Amino acid sequence: LFQKKNVSVLLSLCVLASWGVILLSARLYWMGNKPPNFSNSDNPAADSPHFLTRTLTFLHLPVANAWLLLCPDRLSFDWSMDAVPLVRSLADWRNLHTVAFYGGFVLLGLFGLQGPTSKAKETNGKPYVANGKSITNGNGCHAPDTNHNTDQGPPKTTLNGSAGPHQCPPRATLPPTQHLVLFSLGMLSLPFIPATNLFFYVGFVIAERVLYIPSMGFCLLVAAGARTLHIRLRTKGCRALLMGLCVGLVLLNGLRTVQRNRDWSNEENLYRSGIGANPAKAWGNLGNVLKNQGKMAEAEKAYRNALHHRGNMADMLYNLGLLLQENERLSEALHYYKLAIGSRPTLASAYLNTGIILMNQGSLEEAKRTFLTCADIPDENLKDPHAHKSSVTSCLYNLGKLLHEQGHQEEALSIYREAVQKMPKQFAPHSLFNMMGEAYMRLSRLEEAGHWYRESLRVKPDHIPAHLTYGKLLSIMEIQASLNEAAERQYERAAGLRPDYPAALMNLGAILHLNGKLPEAEANYLRALQLKPDDVITQSNLRKLWNIMERQGLRVRGGARGAGERPSN
């Protein structure tokens, strides 16, 4: 093994093994150093609590895969759920198939481990016997005398007239059948081992894609068997029959390939072809396709057929409810949404649509409870956490909208903030931001309202509701600004008429403060405090003003206080 000629082979194996370790490590790192989570229907045997059921089923699955290679008459795009029933007891007749399969596999392995026979060798499929006698190969030449026997007779003349022994031209020899069988079994079994649930559970029952590489070993094994039969058959008729059977096998598999390619030509054909093997999954997927084609009646029938075969499929219950909701059959839709929630309590999209229907039906308190329940669902151990987060964010948005319409603006804003924190990157937040703007506007917090309206338009510049509400806000702010200017003129007149009146100076400072004229506001506050140093309102307004001026760089923190200012309480 460690000879010089094998160094390059060993080096290649080491490089291959190193890359395998690197790729597996990267895969585990990206998966968070934990195995993926599969639903119960993906691999029912792995979810079975009974050790005997798991063992017998896992032993039987390679048999089912081998049958797909041997006789691919029943193929499917998906083998999950009940496509392969669990082997629950030793009395199941499929155990006989399991014993026969592993028994045959062991016998082939033992045959492959035997050395080549010493009495007969195979050269390009044509036998000759090396016992001192030679068998003509049909080309007018003789095989060499392997026992080095001396021919005592006169020189023999060959067909071309030359005297002396004539050697056949060298032929490229095929490997012994035992070696070929052993190599075929290795190629058949080794790539398949990760799919056997031996080291870890996998997310499928049977997956035809994992048979691509093993199928090469299977083809070699069939070819080795045909080669052995061809050598052992002595009559031309039997050999012709064998060749006919091999050609027929190739033609049949070729025709099956053409037929299967037609099944894969479009989704509808593919799902219809899988109804016999996995009716629940096939009917459900077919319903999605028919719905996308606008065939609502056929889609509804397909969904109901899927639920007839497996009634606890949350996705199918949800899809049927969604179809009924789109057709304005709200009571029926609500029924199926609740069944979907009962089947899978973490299905956030079902909670979302349930709450929306309840809102439309006037059951506002029940809708609130539904949205709140949805918001509390954790996003761990889910197949699609991003879709889950989007549905949870939509639930919070609708809950906030409901509170907003009931006049509970502070509660609505609290819900909206939670939605902003939980929303995923792919969520479109323009409606959420617009509703936050509306809530702030109802609370007369116009600057914050304007901020969220601008955020909504930044995310979606053509969002018409945000344009309308922002326009309304700007008109209010313009009116407010004009009123503030008029108020400022009145307060200035009052302070001019009576400059020693603290209330007039304080009110003038306050309106200047609102109008953004901060230095003038500060001067009037200080004048008011000179006249009335203990005025709490003026002191409070002045502290707020200084905080703003410090943030804007108009005043240094801790600067000299004006005359008459009291220390902060």
- Are residues 429 and 513 located together in one domain of the fold? no
Show the CA angle centred on residue 151, arms to residues 149 and 153, nearest 5°.
160
CATH number at residue 508: 1.25.40.10
- Are residues 331 and 387 located together in one domain of the fold? yes
Percent of the chain with pLDDT over 90: 49
Whether the pLDDT of residue 264 is over 80: the answer is yes
- Are residues 88 and 63 located together in one domain of the fold? yes
Q: What average pLDDT does range 253-269 have in this prediction? A: 94
* Better pLDDT: 483 or 211: 211
Whether the pLDDT of residue 563 is over 60: the answer is no
pLDDT tens readout for residues 134-168: 434 444 444 444 444 444 444 444 434 444 444 55
Tokens representing residue 2 in the block: 């460690």
- Are residues 81 and 210 located together in one domain of the fold? yes
Q: What average pLDDT does range 4-20 have in this prediction? A: 80
Q: What is the pLDDT of residue 196?
A: 83
pLDDT tens readout for residues 492-520: 888 888 888 888 899 889 888 888 889 99
Percent of the chain with pLDDT over 70: 85
Q: What average pLDDT does range 534-561 have in this prediction? A: 82
Show the CA angle centred on residue 335, arms to residues 333 and 340, nearest 5°.
95
Give how far Cα 136 sits from Cα of 64, 171, 233, 469, Å: 47, 15, 18, 101
Taking the C-alpha atoms of residue 538 and residue 528, their distance in angstroms, rounded to an integer, is 8
Q: What is the pLDDT of residue 542?
A: 92
Q: What is the pLDDT of residue 81?
A: 83
Q: What is the pLDDT of residue 487?
A: 81
pLDDT tens readout for residues 38-76: 777 778 888 888 999 999 999 999 999 999 999 998 999
Nearest to 393 by CA among 362, 366, 363, 425: 425
- Are residues 466 and 541 located together in one domain of the fold? no
Per the domain annotation, does 26 fall within a domain? yes
- Are residues 18 and 115 located together in one domain of the fold? no
- Are residues 320 and 221 located together in one domain of the fold? no
- Are residues 99 and 219 located together in one domain of the fold? yes
Per the domain annotation, does 328 fall within a domain? yes
Q: What is the mean pLDDT of the chain?
A: 83
Give the bridge partners for 127, in sequence order: 122
Q: What average pLDDT does range 472-477 have in this prediction? A: 82
Furthest CA-CA distance within the chain: 154
Taking the C-alpha atoms of residue 456 and residue 479, their distance in angstroms, rounded to an integer, is 24
Show the CA angle centred on residue 92, arms to residues 89 and 96, nearest 5°.
120
* Better pLDDT: 364 or 199: 364
Q: What is the pLDDT of residue 157?
A: 40
Distance in angstroms between the alpha carbons of the first and the last residue of the chain: 89
- Are residues 512 and 367 located together in one domain of the fold? no
Q: What is the pLDDT of residue 558?
A: 59
pLDDT tens readout for residues 76-134: 998 888 888 999 999 999 999 999 999 998 998 888 887 665 444 444 444 444 433 44
Whether the pLDDT of residue 350 is over 60: the answer is yes
Q: What average pLDDT does range 463-487 have in this prediction? A: 82
The number of beta carbons lying within 10 Å of the beta carbon of residue 554 is: 13
- Are residues 467 and 502 located together in one domain of the fold? no
Q: What is the pLDDT of residue 95?
A: 93
3-state secondary structure of 553: coil
Taking the C-alpha atoms of residue 346 and residue 505, their distance in angstroms, rounded to an integer, is 62
Tokens representing residue 22 in the block: 């690197």
Look-up of token digits 């080095």: 148
Domain count, the chain: 4
* Better pLDDT: 160 or 222: 222
- Are residues 102 and 182 located together in one domain of the fold? yes
Per the domain annotation, does 246 fall within a domain? no
Write out the residue range of the structural domain in which residue 91 sits: 40-130+173-232
Taking the C-alpha atoms of residue 509 and residue 488, their distance in angstroms, rounded to an integer, is 9
pLDDT tens readout for residues 168-221: 555 556 667 788 888 888 888 888 888 887 777 777 788 888 888 899 999 999
pLDDT category, 349, cuts 50, 70, 90?
Answer: very high
Nearest to 136 by CA among 115, 114, 158: 158
